[in-house]
Amino acid sequence: MPISGDEMHSLEPMQEAEEKELIARFELMLASNGVQFFDVEEFDLITEYYLETGQYQHAWKAIELGSDQHPTSPAFALKRARYLVAVDRLEEASKELENSAALDPNNPELAGTKGMLYTKMGRIPEAIAAFKLALQQSNDPFPYCTQLGGLYQNLGRYEEAIKMYKQILEEEPEDENALYHLATCYDLTEQGDKAIEWFTAFLTKHPFSETGWYHLGITFARNQKLDKALWAMDFALVIDEKFTAAYYEKARILERIERYEEAANVYLLSLENDDPSGYCYYRLGTCYRMMERVADAQAAFKKALAADPELDEAHLELALIFSDKEKHFEAIHHIKKALAMEADNPDYHLVAADIYKKMGLLLESENRYRTVLYTLKTTDPEIYMDYAELLLDMDHVDQAYDVLTEGLTVYPESEALYAVYAGYVFSSEDRKEAFLWLKKGLALSPFEVTALLLEYFPHLAEDKEVMKLIKPYIL
């Protein structure tokens, strides 16, 4: 009696050498255009191997040869349906499944194959029902738990997905995909404490699961338990010292707690253990910038772009470095590169505005502010203040006041905008109007507005009338 692919999983697995020998014998036959005899079980194993590894032409060849050598076996009709589903010939697959059901209605793989077909046809409720039936009929629920977990997760039915992934991990604790999806479902349902509880219990049973420690660390980090997150990542790295993702996440955690030198060293270890990643070089560069190691940061950002020329964040950082060095042409080159990749990023336009202003290209700078405020519809009190300052530098005084007024309309409780507006009006010597705006701001937030006014316009601390007005509000 031939075994189905479903039953095959429940048997003792073939020794790796035996499997390789069987596949090698089949492929040698194909290469030599010869014909060898394989029994039904061997054809079943060969077909299953090729279907699972995505080698569909070889799978089809095995199905056809198997059917020729064993014309009375019903096993190959179902394999043919599996193949047709895999290559998206869905109408043919549906007919082949009908034929298979007539030949072998009790085959436990039949319901699972129907589930695969319904999934590809977008008939998700029917797919779920088919996989549930397969789960009841199968001696090995593993493949159907995987299918159901994915469907439930895509539907947002996370609790049901969690149950499926847990069931998988009871039988296959080394299944990295199941661990990943389980952690994702816990995160999407904001069940951080339950995730920590589950992964802790899992690691009690499987203490050498580096992937388990890694996801426990990620979960700790998401729950702001950063010391415990580092502890878990260290366990993952003790088990597998070449675990690149664990190095990367450890470095990110160290960044979050401002241990930049340690983070940089861990990023360097990550780069040693894997092909250089542009984003990893970028993170390394940000650590160097925080440590004020500007030359090292610049070198890291350039390496980031060498590894990934489309990494706009690295162009941004180089623009900022060159701007700080007053190398404005180099700075504008890099910020233009960043904008070419992400034209709708308001931060990039604002950096460009600042660089153009430093270069004396005030009209270009103004265009960037207008793009941010009126095209990208991005607003912030600081943007209005910086834009107004630029307009005053251009002697567009009325337009500058209009921008600040607009800002106060959008942000009527912005202490900074009241302080700046009042300060500018004092500078224009319209003291009556200035006192009016200062009073409005002081009524809103006396201490903050006073502090900001004197920060932006320190000379007003010597203005007796101004300080007389402020005094009753802050005493």
Tens digit of pLDDT for each residue in 325-383? 999 999 999 999 999 999 999 999 999 999 999 999 999 999 999 999 999 999 999 99
Give CA separation, 427 vs 57, 64, 399, 442, 468, in Å.
80, 90, 16, 19, 18
pLDDT band at 6 (very low <50, low <70, confident <90, very high): very low
pLDDT for the residue 15: 58
pLDDT in tens, 90-101: 999 899 888 888
∠ CA 246-307-355, rounded to 5°: 105
301 Cβ contact partners less than 8 Å away, ≥ 6 residues apart: 281, 282, 285, 314, 317, 318, 321
The pLDDT mean for the chain works out to 90
The answer to whether 123 and 107 have CB atoms below 8 angstroms apart is no
Instruction: Tabulate helix, strand, coil % of the chain (nearest 5).
Output: 80, 0, 20
Rg value, the chain, Cα: 33
Residue 34 or 117, more confident? 117
* Residue 167: half-sphere exposure toward Cβ, Cα within 13 Å: 17
3-state SS, residue 233 = helix
437 Cβ contact partners less than 8 Å away, ≥ 6 residues apart: 418, 421, 422, 425
pLDDT band at 79 (very low <50, low <70, confident <90, very high): confident
pLDDT for the residue 7: 41
66 Cβ contact partners less than 8 Å away, ≥ 6 residues apart: 38, 40, 43, 44, 47, 73, 75, 76, 79
328 Cβ contact partners less than 8 Å away, ≥ 6 residues apart: 322, 355, 358, 359
Q: Is the pLDDT of residue 1 over 80?
A: no
Q: Is the pLDDT of residue 11 over 60?
A: no
216 Cβ contact partners less than 8 Å away, ≥ 6 residues apart: 196, 199, 200, 203, 232
Gap between the Cα atoms of 450 and 470, Å rounded? 7
In the chain, the N- to C-terminal Cα span, in Å, equals 95
pLDDT for the residue 169: 94
Gap between the Cα atoms of 202 and 170, Å rounded? 9
Read off the tokens for 475.
């005493």
72 Cβ contact partners less than 8 Å away, ≥ 6 residues apart: none
pLDDT for the residue 104: 81
pLDDT in tens, 376-408: 999 999 999 999 999 999 999 889 999 999 999
Please, is 136 exposed, middle or buried when counting C-beta atoms within 10 Å of its C-beta (0-12, 13-18, 19+)? exposed
* Mean pLDDT, rounded, for 58-79: 87
The answer to whether 326 and 358 have CB atoms below 8 angstroms apart is yes
Residue 118 or 44, more confident? 118
Name the residue with tokens 């999983």. Answer: 9
Q: Which of these ranges, 264-273, 304-313, 328-337, has the smallest mean pLDDT?
A: 264-273
Which one, of 379, 387, 390, lies nearest residue 414 by Cα? 379
Domain ranges of the chain: 1-140, 275-377, 379-475
Residue 106 or 378, more confident? 378
CATH code reported for the domain at 379-475 = 1.25.40.10
Helices 278-290 and 294-307 cross at an angle (nearest 10°) of 170
pLDDT in tens, 408-440: 999 999 999 999 999 888 887 788 888 999 998
CATH code reported for the domain at 1-140 = 1.25.40.10
Secondary element (H or E) of residue 387: helix 381-393
Please, is 19 exposed, middle or buried when counting C-beta atoms within 10 Å of its C-beta (0-12, 13-18, 19+)? middle
Asked whether the domain spanning 275-377 has the same topology as the one spanning 1-140, the reply is yes
HEC letters along 164-206:
HHHHHHHHCCCCHHHHHHHHHHHHHCCCHHHHHHHHHHHHHHC
pLDDT band at 8 (very low <50, low <70, confident <90, very high): very low
* Mean pLDDT, rounded, for 151-168: 95
Q: Is the pLDDT of residue 63 over 60?
A: yes
CB atoms within 10 A of CB 208: 12
* Residue 135: half-sphere exposure toward Cβ, Cα within 13 Å: 17
Q: Which CATH number fits domain 275-377: 2.130.10.10, 3.30.390.50, 1.25.40.10, 1.10.10.10?
A: 1.25.40.10
pLDDT for the residue 375: 94
Q: Which of these ranges, 4-8, 129-133, 364-368, 430-434, has the smallest mean pLDDT?
A: 4-8
pLDDT band at 178 (very low <50, low <70, confident <90, very high): very high
Q: Is the pLDDT of residue 278 over 80?
A: yes
Helices 244-256 and 260-272 cross at an angle (nearest 10°) of 170
